[in-house]
Amino acid sequence: KPLRLPSGKNIEISACIGGATVPASFKDAVNPVRRAEIALEKAKANGTGCYAIFEDQWLSEYQQKRSREQELLDALSNKELIPYYQPIIEAKTGRVAGMEALARWNHPTKGVLAPFHFLPLATEMRIMPQLDELMIRRVFNDIGQHPQIKSLTWIAINLSSEQLFSNSLVSMLRSLLAEHEIPKNLVELEIVEELISHDTRIVTEQLQAIGALGIKLSIDDFGTGYSSLSRLKHLPVSKLKIDKSFVDGLPSDDSDCCIASSIVGMAKGLGINLVAEGVETQEQARWLTDQACDYLQGYLYAKPMPLDQIIDFINKSNKKRTKIS
């Protein structure tokens, strides 16, 4: 039966069962319990109200998973997680206006791994706050050491929902800003649109506290979530990023054109800058520029790259522009 709290709220109770059968002669008391736990994990993965009985082949799967988890924890402490940077171009002028930091795992044997190899595991392990904090620290460090980066209008860092809800986020950001003497307004945090649709006081307060530090916010993957548009007006948001899925079909797909131009119109109306993500062709860039989209990001200009290469990229593009002007 549901539990009834004093506030009147009902809490539904559910259960999953994991079991293991062992021969009566089995002497080791730990193993059967461990096996039942592994079965319980399987049962939970199938949803509430399920049960599972241990099968032998799950043991090696379990051990492999534990070793991948340990490897990721080691990577966090060995600083194998590093930021790559992708430039963001001002549509009107072609200059490098900003860049986005994207996590990479510099794996000792497998080479440089993209986030889809490790973020799902990090999320499952609930270590996204640590991973995001490490990235924020590394990016701040990079900015502090390379004055060229300060010539950009902004540097974006991705923030997971777990990190956004962390109590220590604002104080960590405040002390890092002071420690690295980073100009106000240079740093921008990207949060996914889905997050702001949670109409909770905590999200609003946290976003406003971040805004009060001078840090800007942008809404990532815009168009894929269910944000109540009226909420945007009340949040310190300076950019929307049109999701790549709407950019892909430009300029031939009528519905993508319609969605992209409505997002442009809305952003203009609200006085919010717009970045289009995943721009891969000249035709997409031209169409977006004609629609007055402010910034473009995508493989057409550059893929994410390590720090030394992005510094070169910024220097070269600034030089080219000085020559032109």
257 binds ligand C2E (CB under 6 A): no
26 binds ligand C2E (CB under 6 A): no
Nearer to ligand C2E, 123 or 204 (CB): 123
For the bound state, the minimum distance from the C-beta of residue 208 to ligand C2E, rounded and expressed in Å, comes to: 21
**Residue 3 exposure: Cα atoms within 13 Å on the Cβ side:** 6
220 binds Ca ion (CB under 5 A): yes
Q: What is the DSSP string of 50-115?
A: -EEE--THHHHHHHHHHHHHHHHHHHHHTT-EEEEEEEEEETTT--EEEEEEEEEEEETTTEEEPG
Dihedral in degrees, nearest 10, Cα atoms 206, 188, 135, 306: 170
129 binds ligand C2E (CB under 6 A): no
Scanning 15-23, 35-43, 208-216, 297-305 for contacts with ligand C2E by CB under 6 A, the matching segment is 297-305
- Position 114, amino acid: A
223 binds ligand C2E (CB under 6 A): no
Give the tokens for residue 153. 């209008």
Q: How many CB atoms lie within 10 A of CB 296?
A: 25
For the bound state, the minimum distance from the C-beta of residue 27 to ligand C2E, rounded and expressed in Å, comes to: 46
Cβ proximity of 132 and 115 under 8 Å: no
227 binds ligand C2E (CB under 6 A): no
Residues 6+ apart with CB under 8 A from 44: 16, 50
Figure out which of the listed residues 72, 91, 97, 135 binds ligand C2E, where binding follows CB under 6 A.
135
For the bound state, the minimum distance from the C-beta of residue 159 to ligand C2E, rounded and expressed in Å, comes to: 6
Q: Which does 87 bind (CB under 5 to 8 A by kind): ligand C2E, Ca ion, none?
A: none
**With the C-alpha atoms ordered 82, 86, 87, 90, is the resulting torsion angle positive or negative?**
negative
Q: Report CA-CA distances (Å) from 258 to 22, 24, 146, 201, 271.
A: 62, 68, 41, 33, 20
Figure out which of the listed residues 115, 214, 225, 306 binds ligand C2E, where binding follows CB under 6 A.
115
188 binds Ca ion (CB under 5 A): no
- Strands 96-107 and 81-90, by their bridges, are antiparallel
158 binds Ca ion (CB under 5 A): yes
Q: Which does 98 bind (CB under 5 to 8 A by kind): Ca ion, ligand C2E, none?
A: none
For the bound state, the minimum distance from the C-beta of residue 209 to ligand C2E, rounded and expressed in Å, comes to: 19
Scanning 147-155, 157-165, 257-265, 306-314 for contacts with Ca ion by CB under 5 A, the matching segment is 157-165
Residues 6+ apart with CB under 8 A from 70: none
For the bound state, the minimum distance from the C-beta of residue 103 to ligand C2E, rounded and expressed in Å, comes to: 4
For the bound state, the minimum distance from the C-beta of residue 7 to ligand C2E, rounded and expressed in Å, comes to: 33
98 binds ligand C2E (CB under 6 A): no
Residues near ligand C2E, by CB under 6 A:
86, 102-103, 114-115, 119, 132, 135, 158-160, 220-221, 277-280, 297-299, 304
